[in-house]
Amino acid sequence: MTAAIELDGLVRNFGERTVLSGLSLSVPAGTSLAVLGRNGAGKSTLLRILATLLRPHAGRVAIFGRDLPADGWAVRGRIGLLSHEPLLYRELSGRENLTYHARLHGVGADRVEEVLAAVGMARRGDDPVRSCSRGMVQRLAVARAVLHRPELLLLDEPKSNLDPAASDLIEPLIGRSSGVTRVLTSHDPEAALAEVDLVLAIAQGRAAYLGPPSGIDSETIRGLYR
């Protein structure tokens, strides 16, 4: 069985600065990976590379056995990205935004209603996004990310701006119980560890730790963010 994600010596530079220098790992399908590291460690960069939005500068990246960036077109529809930005148009309503993305992905209108209801936004679905609170925007962004039923979810701090009730609401969509392969970053590493099978800690562009959450202690984690 092919792994959902395979990295071998992944390098990504920004100008002269090397953000990721030689990451290698393998994530089996159906498992969850937490990516830890302080701000600027390259967590978001890694997520963007996996989402086919950034190309690797060296090394091999394969998603579902297809090499990036050459085969990006083949896996693009199977990936859902929840990034820092909601990727929603402010002037359009939540429903219109989702309908637009549904058209891009070739998904039916009934699925739009389904995800709107799932994130508890069915009633407020016609409000323009600019008038929504940040928590509501985040819920819409979750709806957008899972709209096309992706097999791989890339979640950049998925629970930011969400109150506990909303967190519980989106849990079946993007949580461990969704059953899909997940890569997530979090502003709350301790909480993230509880819901993943694998942990990757990035420091100086390299893997400072790669293994099960049980193998990393809170002291090491605190060291990462120091």
Partner 1 sequence: MSPHVKHLRPLTIATLITFVAGLSLTFFYAPIELNEGFVQKIFYIHVPLAIVSLCGYVLGGIFGLMYLRTGKRVWDMRSYCAIHMALIFSIGGIVAGSIWAKAAWGHWWVWSEPTLVSYLIVILLFCTYQPLRFSIEDPERQATYAAVFAVVGGAFVPLNFIVVRLSVQYLHPRVFNLEGGNLPGSMALTFYVMLLAVALLFATLMKYEMLAKETRGQTRRLRRRLLGDENVAPIGRSAAPL
Partner 2 sequence: MRVAWAILRKDLTVELRTLETVPAMAIFTVATFVIFHFGLQRDSLSGQLAAGVFAVSLLFAAVLGTNRLFVAEREQGGFDGFLLAPVDRTAMFLAKSAALFLYLTVLEIIAVPAFGLFAAPPGYGGALGGLIVFLLLVNLAFAILGTLVSAIAVHTRARDLIGPIIGLPLQIPALISFAIGTGKLLAVHTVGPGEVLPVHGAHHPAGEWLLVLALYDVFTALLAYAVFDFLLEE
Tell me which residues touch partner 1 (CB under 8 A).
14-17
> By CB under 8 A, is residue 159 in contact with partner 2?
no
16's contact among partner 1, partner 2, none, with CB below 5 to 8 A by partner kind, is: partner 1
Q: How far apart are CA 225 and CA 103, in angstroms?
A: 41
> By CB under 8 A, is residue 88 in contact with partner 2?
yes
> By CB under 8 A, is residue 169 in contact with partner 2?
no
From the list 32-40, 47-55, 119-127, 186-194, the region that binds partner 2 by CB under 8 A is 47-55
Cα–Cα distances in Å, from 151 out to 4, 6, 47? 9, 15, 15
> Exactly one of 43, 95, 139, 144 binds partner 2 (CB under 8 A); which one?
144
Kindly state the smallest distance separating residue 70's Cβ from partner 1, in Å: 12
Kindly state the smallest distance separating residue 85's Cβ from partner 1, in Å: 17
From the list 23-31, 48-56, 59-67, 194-202, the region that binds partner 2 by CB under 8 A is 48-56
> By CB under 8 A, is residue 57 in contact with partner 2?
no
Name which of 78 and 176 has its Cβ closer to partner 2: 78
Kindly state the smallest distance separating residue 199's Cβ from partner 2, in Å: 26
> Exactly one of 5, 54, 173, 180 binds partner 2 (CB under 8 A); which one?
54
Among positive and negative, which fits the CA dihedral 144, 163, 118, 78? positive
Site size for partner 2, by CB under 8 A?
A: 27
Strand partners, 209: 201
Residues of this chain that interact with partner 2 (CB under 8 A) are: 51-55, 73, 76-77, 79, 81, 83, 85-92, 96, 100-101, 103-106, 144
